[in-house]
C-alpha cells in the first residue's frame, strides 16, 4: 500500500434471501412474544388453545392489524388487545374502520384515536357483532 493511503473498509453485503431469513426470524420472535404475552394476559381466552393454535391466531391477528397499516409492535399489540377485549372483528365496525383508516392520522396514532372517536354505543355494537371466525382458526 502506498504511504498515506488507507485501505477502504470492506463492505458487508446482505443479499435478499439472507434478508428474508432475518425478517422471518424477527417475525417468528415477535409472534412468540405476542403468544406468551396474550397467554398470560388473557389466560381464560387462550387457556384451551394449543401452542400451534395460539401461534395461528397471533399470525392472523398480526396480518389483520397490518391490513390497517400498523407496523409498530406496540400498535399491533394494542390492536390485538382490542380484538380480545371487544371482538376479533371489531375493525369491521364503521366507526373503528374510520379511525383505523383516517389518512389525516399517522398510522401509529390510529389505535389511540379509537378511544377518542368511538362512542360507547359503537363499542357495544362492535362487541355484539363478535365473529369468532376472525381469529383465523380452523
Residue at 2 is within a domain: no
Banded model confidence at residue 21, pLDDT cuts 50, 70, 90: low
Q: What was the pLDDT predicted at 18?
A: 67
Q: What was the pLDDT predicted at 110?
A: 92
Are the C-beta atoms of 99 and 113 separated by less than 8 Å?
yes
Residue at 7 is within a domain: no
Residue at 91 is within a domain: yes
Residue at 92 is within a domain: yes
How many domains does one find in the chain? 1
Residues counted in the chain: 138
Banded model confidence at residue 81, pLDDT cuts 50, 70, 90: very high
Residue at 126 is within a domain: yes
Q: What was the pLDDT predicted at 7?
A: 62
Residue 94, domain extent: 18-135
Q: What was the pLDDT predicted at 3?
A: 59
Q: If we measure between CA atoms, which residue out of 48, 31, 53 comes closest to residue 136?
A: 53
Residue at 67 is within a domain: yes
Averaged pLDDT, 100-108: 90
- Considering the entire predicted model, what is its pTM? 0.83
Amino acid at each position: 500500500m502506498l504511504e498515506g493511503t488507507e485501505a477502504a473498509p470492506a463492505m458487508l453485503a446482505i443479499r435478499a434471501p439472507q434478508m428474508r431469513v432475518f425478517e422471518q426470524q424477527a417475525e417468528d420472535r415477535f409472534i412468540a412474544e405476542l403468544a406468551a404475552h396474550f397467554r398470560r394476559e388473557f389466560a381464560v381466552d387462550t387457556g384451551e388453545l394449543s401452542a400451534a393454535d395460539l401461534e395461528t391466531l397471533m399470525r392472523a391477528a398480526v396480518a389483520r392489524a397490518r391490513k390497517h397499516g400498523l407496523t409498530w409492535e406496540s400498535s399491533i399489540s394494542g390492536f390485538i388487545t382490542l380484538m380480545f377485549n371487544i371482538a376479533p372483528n371489531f375493525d369491521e365496525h364503521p366507526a373503528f374502520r374510520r379511525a383505523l383508516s383516517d389518512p389525516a392520522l399517522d398510522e401509529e396514532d390510529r389505535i389511540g384515536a379509537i378511544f377518542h372517536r368511538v362512542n360507547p354505543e359503537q363499542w357495544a355494537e362492535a362487541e355484539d357483532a363478535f365473529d369468532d371466525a376472525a381469529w383465523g382458526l380452523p
